[in-house]
């Protein structure tokens, strides 16, 4: 995580003592285990799968890893693997089952729950690192996109993963194909040469179905170390890991600019990126840059 922090210039946020304090982040994923690093942060949990567990759980570890990237305090590693916004709080909706599978109906339930709880928990960001859901009915797509638009109108930014189906064209996740979300791809920037297998090689590419850039931005997503189980850590790669990095950065930005609208925040995030010189269908507007974002 320190490599990631250096790459996106998060030291500026550290100097401003920004930690995401008071900012709620909704996470729709495979659930969450109460790892030592994130148990302080989980303030609400709801299971939308057939099991309907009342207690936090995560059979695949995917959601726990994502939550650690956003708000882990790194206590089990003496701070080495702390997340981006360690004092943000998390509202976790389990929409994927014990095999990591789910459907759009569960996602819709999760989005509706987070929107209903947004005022109570000051939810400003919703992280959806789930890119493998497909719309089987036009009504499903219309409902999901309507909820995305509702969130945006209420100044809540939905952050979605571009998916790992690249490098072909038009492989970006359909969930990211909306003007009301921030769709995140993978890129390691200047440190790409450190990896033999980079997530940017399979990061979903645009254009999607709308006439604008998708993904919107990119962030590091290769070999990201985050929470697993109760005290352990694990290394994972993919746009699913890049997405919570952006969500965590937005939590810092909302702490700094608490009255900024979703439209203003999305514009500010996009305009603060670094152009990597890649095709825009791969990098969107570029790599997130916390230094520029907080200026």
The catalytic site residues sit at 29, 62, 240
Token code pair at residue 90: 């998390």
Cβ atoms of 74 and 82 closer than 8 Å = yes
Identify which of 63, 83, 92 has the alpha carbon closest to the alpha carbon of residue 18: 83
With tokens 């509706």, the residue in question is: 112
181's CB contacts (< 8 A; 6+ apart) are: 148, 152, 157, 158, 159, 160, 175, 216
CA neighbor of 4 nearest in space, from 81, 71, 67: 81
CA 259 to chain centre: 21
In DSSP terms, which residues pair with 46 in a beta bridge? 93
């Amino acid at each position: 995580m320190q490599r990631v922090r250096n790459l996106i210039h998060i030291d500026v946020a550290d100097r401003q003592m920004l930690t995401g304090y008071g900012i709620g982040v909704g996470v729709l994923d495979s659930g969450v285990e109460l790892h030592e690093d994130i148990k302080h942060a989980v303030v609400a949990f709801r299971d939308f799968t057939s099991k309907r567990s009342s207690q936090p759980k995560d059979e695949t570890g995917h959601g726990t890893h994502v939550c650690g990237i956003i708000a882990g305090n790194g206590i089990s590693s003496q701070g080495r693997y702390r997340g981006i916004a360690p004092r943000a709080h998390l509202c976790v909706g389990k929409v994927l089952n014990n095999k990591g599978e789910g459907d759009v109906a569960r996602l819709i339930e999760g989005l509706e729950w987070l929107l209903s709880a947004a005022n109570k928990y000051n939810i400003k960001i919703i992280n959806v690192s789930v890119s493998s859901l497909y719309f089987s009915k036009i009504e499903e797509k219309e409902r999901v996109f309507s909820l995305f638009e509702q969130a945006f109108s209420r100044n809540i930014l939905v952050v979605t993963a571009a998916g790992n189906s690249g490098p072909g064209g038009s492989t970006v996740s359909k969930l990211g194909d909306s003007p009301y979300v921030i769709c995140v791809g993978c890129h390691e920037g200047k440190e790409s040469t450190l990896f033999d297998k980079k997530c940017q090689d399979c990061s979903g590419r645009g254009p999607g179905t709308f006439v604008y850039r998708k993904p919107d931005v990119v962030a590091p997503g290769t070999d990201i170390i985050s929470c697993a189980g109760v005290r352990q850590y694990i290394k994972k790669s993919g746009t699913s890991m890049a997405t919570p990095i952006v969500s965590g950065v937005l939590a810092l930005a909302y702490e700094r600019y608490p009255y900024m609208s979703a439209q203003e925040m999305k514009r500010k995030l996009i305009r603060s990126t670094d152009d990597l010189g890649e095709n825009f269908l791969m990098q969107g507007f570029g790599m997130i840059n916390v230094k520029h974002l907080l200026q």
